[in-house]
Amino acid sequence: MRIIVAIDIIGGKCVRLTRGDFNTKKVYNKDPLEVALQIEDNGINFLHLVDLEGAKNKKIENIKVLEKIAWKTKLKIDFGGGLRSYEDLITAFNAGARQVTTGSIAVTDPNLFIEWLKKLGQEKLILGADCIDRKVSTSGWLEKSDKEIISFISDYRSKGVKYTICTDIKKDGMLQGPSTSLYKEILGAVKINLIASGGISSIKDIEEIREVGCEGVIIGKAVYEGKITLNELGKLC
């Protein structure tokens, strides 16, 4: 199982939100590169880099952060937030992303998403499938759709999607454990590489996610709040 550390960006700084609420913003480090170097130094290979401003404003805002981290580290980066066109995707790849994550377009313009999938291939494009009360949310979680999470993932799996990140928004930033039962339900219904995100607060949580069969797990606030150390995560890689 891939151990993936998250860096969320607003104004070029490393921040975290609670349940996606921009009013709960907390800055953890003014230099995301410093955090990325610490991640790499502890033997972790994967980074989930999210342009929160981009997601909110529906356009890429923090591409320079991606460029700097990709240039200064060997981390395998998946990048998301504000990706609204094929040109945006190419911009992210040219800046150093190995994969891109997009969910909003998958909801609002399925044909465009499938076009991207065909052009890029299933190894490059991750389906963002974040939900609240089992309904998929978009635009930095500010907009709620009528798409039911399992049918949403299943439909895109049938169209060739290989990877999906699923965050239960109610769990995000709460440090009260992940939605293990939801992930188990998804994997019972769909054969897909599922990356769990949201609520991770301990090594035990990560072990539970592994037992369910997830391909990856994203850890964010637990690291920044000292609940889990990067050294502990490195030992799991």
Burial of 74 (0-12, 13-18, 19+ CB in 10 A): exposed
Q: How far is CA 102 from the centre of its chain?
A: 9
Q: Report H helices in 138-190.
A: 149-158, 180-189
- Does 172 participate in catalysis according to the annotation? no
Structure tokens at 64: 């320079």
The rounded distance, in Å, linking the Cα atoms of 125 and 99 is 6
Collapsing DSSP to helix, strand or coil, 229 comes out as coil
Catalytically annotated residue among 51, 78, 88, 130: 130
CB 199 within 8 A of CB 229: no
Catalytically annotated residue among 8, 51, 78, 205: 8
Residues in a beta bridge with 7: 49
* Strand ranges for 59-175 from DSSP E: 76-80, 99-102, 125-128, 131-132, 135-138, 143-148, 163-167
Annotated catalytic sites, by residue?
Answer: 8, 130
